[in-house]
Amino acid sequence: MPDPDEMNTPPPIPPADAAVAAALARLAPSPARIDRDRLMFAAGAASQRNVLRLWQLAAGILMAAGFAAGVLYAQSTGRDVPAITAPR
């Protein structure tokens, strides 16, 4: 059975890989060229424009349907309906 302490230690690194690892450890990341907050604000604003257009389209369709229904109702009630009277 292997020793539990040996299971937690990483295997030895070959010398060539150790030199590459040391060179990579000395590198520093370059500063970001973009402003994260400005980017997130622009992304949020762009996503809201689509939602706003969708609501405007839905409201326009409902308004047109309501107007058409009103016109049809007004035309149908403009006809003269003959009155039927009961004989006396």
State residue 6's pLDDT score: 74
The owner of tokens 């040996």 is 6
Mean pLDDT of 27-33: 88
Which pLDDT band, with edges at 50, 70 and 90, does 48 fall under?
Answer: confident
Indicate the domain borders of the chain.
Answer: 35-75
- Does the pLDDT of residue 59 top 80, yes or no? yes
Q: For residue 13, give every residue at least 6 positions away whose Cβ sits within 8 Å of its Cβ, in sequence order, or none.
A: 21
Distance CA 40, CA 33 (A): 14
